[in-house]
């Protein structure tokens, strides 16, 4: 099973290819159309996730696929949007993170974290470059949050959070 390193994720790789470990696809909106996705990839919604397999669906079809590229211990919830890619003849379909990049100040109030006015869910598996990010209660420098949108309840689960370099 391929694993993504914190360094690789935090450098912002957006490449998509069979040989790339920890592939991420960055979109301005997680509601991208399948035509906007490279190659034979398609955007699908998680039905169920167990271990390293997930049942996903789109347009009435359901399939079971391998799960790769998520932080260790990440649990996909029903409705989470993923990118499913694979060459039918050579590589089985695999679900990769489909993330949206948010940039803005981090604000925390009432147990909720906001980036660029969007409420995000930090999990223990969220990759953070600075442990103090979630503990700050004031407006600070700008941060990048890479989030997975849930199509059922529109929540945003944060896969990675890091300070911007610009």
Residue 1 resides in a domain: no
The pLDDT score that the predictor gives to residue 32 is: 37
Q: How far is 157 from 63, CA to CA, in rounded Å? A: 23
The pLDDT score that the predictor gives to residue 30 is: 38
Question: DSSP letters along 64-88, please?
Answer: EEEE-SSPTT--PPTTBEEEEE--T
Domain boundary among 82, 98, 114: 98
Both 40 and 94 in one domain: the answer is yes
- Are β-strands 112-115 and 94-109 bridged in parallel, bridged antiparallel, or unpaired? antiparallel
The pLDDT score that the predictor gives to residue 124 is: 87
Q: What is the CATH number of the domain that holds 106?
A: 2.40.50
Both 81 and 118 in one domain: the answer is no
Both 81 and 19 in one domain: the answer is yes
Alpha helices in the chain (DSSP H): 6-10
Q: Which of 159, 160, 149, 164 is nearest to 31 (CA)?
A: 149
Sequential pLDDT tens for the chain (166 residues)? 333 343 433 343 332 232 223 334 444 443 333 334 455 789 999 999 999 999 999 999 999 999 999 999 999 999 999 999 986 666 788 999 999 999 998 888 766 788 888 999 988 888 877 545 544 444 457 889 999 999 999 999 999 988 887 5
The model scores a pTM over 0.75: no
Range of the domain at 86: 6-98
């Amino acid at each position: 099973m391929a694993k993504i390193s914190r360094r690789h994720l935090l450098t912002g790789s957006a490449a998509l290819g069979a040989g790339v470990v920890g592939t991420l696809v960055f979109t301005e909106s997680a509601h991208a159309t399948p035509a906007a996705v490279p190659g034979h990839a398609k955007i699908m919604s998680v039905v169920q996730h167990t271990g390293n397999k997930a049942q996903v669906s789109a347009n009435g079809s359901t399939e079971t696929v391998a799960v790769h590229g998520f932080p260790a211990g990440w649990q996909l919830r029903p409705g989470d949007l993923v990118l499913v890619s694979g060459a039918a003849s050579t590589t089985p379909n695999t679900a990769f993170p489909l993330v949206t990049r948010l940039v803005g100040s981090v604000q925390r109030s009432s147990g909720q974290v906001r980036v660029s006015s969007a409420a995000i869910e930090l999990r223990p598996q969220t990759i953070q470059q600075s442990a103090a990010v979630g503990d700050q209660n004031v407006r600070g420098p700008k941060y990048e949050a890479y989030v997975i949108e849930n199509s059922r309840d529109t929540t945003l689960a944060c896969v990675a959070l890091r300070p911007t370099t610009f």
